[in-house]
Structure 1
Amino acid sequence: MGIKERKQKHKEDLRSKILEAAKELFVKEGFEATSIRKIAAKIEFSPTTIYLYYKDKNDIAYALHQEGFSLLRTQFLPLMHVESAFERLKAIGKAYIDFGFKNPDYYFVMFMLKDPMDFVNQNCGDEWEEGERVFDFLEQTIVDCQAEGYFKDMDKELMAVNAWTSVHGMVSLYLMGHLKKVAEVKNLQIENENLIEESFKLYIDLLARTKQ
């Protein structure tokens, strides 16, 4: 590896350390309580070094937001080859749930922290490339489901939003501990993960009944 390659690798490694440290602090301490100085202290670099890569912590949050969506999209890519649209829709939901379970920190930054979206609104106008690419795949799957006889009288975009928000609700309630508390209060003899699985099955069963 030449000098140029080593320098590039050093930059990439440091960028990754900054993002990982910021992600951990955002989740544990909250976005407002996290400062560039705290992020720098965690990776044992000066704040000035971080400013060489990101202009502020909003920029860092958005970078994590982009990274998370890229990771989510890689989990969706193999599903493009699922021929049955309704089976593909089910697989998308399962992949989304699995992503949330395995990447709770990314999920928090992507969907439960408003600051990355504030950055998008202030700097990207009507563009939201990373989100649109994921949502467009879901919307096209809804269109394909309609061709199979599902959701015939429903608006494709509203149906896609409904599918997203329904599964997102399950994941966020799980991650924030609400499902566990409901299970305790109602004395439900079922584990958190199984409660999500059963809820998802029920949701899919309801969707299946829309076929004409």
Structure 2
Amino acid sequence: MLELSPRQRRYYKTKETILQTAREIIAEKGPDGLSLRELARRIDYSPSGLYEYFNSKEEIVTAVCVEGLGLLSNYLNRVPADLSPADRLLEMGLAYLDFAREHPEYFRLIFASLSHEQTHLAKEAMNGDSPYHLLLQAVQAVIETGEFTVSEDFDLEDMAFSLWALVHGLAVLEQTHLTKFQQENPTQLYRRALRVFGEGLRNKNFLPDNS
């Protein structure tokens, strides 16, 4: 491996400082509170000097989001592989809630950015190591046990998307500090919700499609 020159080391150190400061601003003010002027002020740099490291504010945001997606994948990968498929899927949902609870700035930024259809970030979110791909694998494992059943009108991706919507919705609601979530244990609520979801998949007569 080639040793970096002093100039290269300074470059990468400054780039990491920019990203770290961007994370801090986002944590304090939310994604909309990040500006190149504020970022430059905090690291004692000129706004124009930031363009030596990033082409735009959007590129900085994307870089922070990619870090967040990697961290979320790490949370999901911590779930023991030797659990039963159903238990592993449950624990992955709980790990998702932990991520949202412990890293709210990443959680908010990732999905705010994805909603703006950033092409590079969308590709990162769907690659082989992404949280979505890990969820697909976990759902597929449950299907193979026969506990979830796919059909022509509700396939693997439909199932994974619905489960993601379930746990993501709980994570968002927990962050709103609604009265229900001050009284309810989100972990237990998720366990019950996933059980009801699974029972619905096994009950072919539940809410038949009349379309």
Q: Which amino acid aligns with 1:203?
A: A
Q: Does 2:128 match 1:128?
A: no
**CA-to-aligned-CA distance 1:137-193 (integer Å, 9 cap, x gap):** 21121111111112214411111011111111111111233x2x445xxxx7x3xxx
Superposed displacement of residue 83, structure 1 = 4.8
Q: Is the 8 A contact 1:85 1:144 kept in 2?
A: yes
Q: Does 2:139 match 1:142?
A: yes
- Distance, in Å, in 1 between the alignment partners of 2:31 and 2:95 is 27
- Unmatched segments (≥5 aa) in structure 2: 204-211
- Distance, in Å, in 1 between the alignment partners of 2:115 and 2:66 is 11
Superposed displacement of residue 101, structure 1 = 1.1
Q: Is the 8 A contact 1:70 1:130 kept in 2?
A: no
- Distance, in Å, in 2 between the alignment partners of 1:51 and 1:117 is 25
Alignment partner, residue 105 of structure 1: 105
Q: Is the 8 A contact 2:30 2:105 kept in 1?
A: no
Alignment partner, residue 204 of structure 1: 194
Query: Alignment partner of 2:53: what SS?
Result: coil
Query: Alignment partner of 2:4: what SS?
Result: helix
Closer/same/farther in 2, CA of residues 80 and 3 from structure 1, 3 Å limit: closer
- Unmatched segments (≥5 aa) in structure 1: none
Query: Alignment partner of 1:129: what SS?
Result: helix
- Distance, in Å, in 1 between the alignment partners of 2:78 and 2:89 is 13
Superposed displacement of residue 207, structure 1 = 3.5
Q: Aligned residues, how many?
A: 196
Closer/same/farther in 2, CA of residues 41 and 145 from structure 1, 3 Å limit: same
**CA-to-aligned-CA distance 1:94-149 (integer Å, 9 cap, x gap):** 111111111111111112x23x553623xx49x61334432122112111111111
Alignment partner, residue 65 of structure 1: 65
Percentage of matched positions with identical amino acids: 24
Structure 2 counterparts to residues 152-163 of structure 1, below 5 A: 152-153=149-150, 154-163=154-163
Query: What is the TM-score when the length of structure 2 is the normalising length?
Result: 0.79
Alignment partner, residue 116 of structure 2: 118
Q: Does 2:48 match 1:52?
A: no
Q: Does 2:171 match 1:171?
A: yes
Closer/same/farther in 2, CA of residues 136 and 164 from structure 1, 3 Å limit: same
Q: Which amino acid aligns with 2:185?
A: L
CA RMSD of aligned residues (A): 2.7
Alignment partner, residue 89 of structure 1: 89
- Distance, in Å, in 2 between the alignment partners of 1:5 and 1:74 is 31
- Distance, in Å, in 2 between the alignment partners of 1:203 and 1:82 is 23
Q: Which amino acid aligns with 1:197?
A: T
Q: Which amino acid aligns with 1:129?
A: E
Closer/same/farther in 2, CA of residues 134 and 34 from structure 1, 3 Å limit: closer
- Distance, in Å, in 2 between the alignment partners of 1:80 and 1:5 is 41
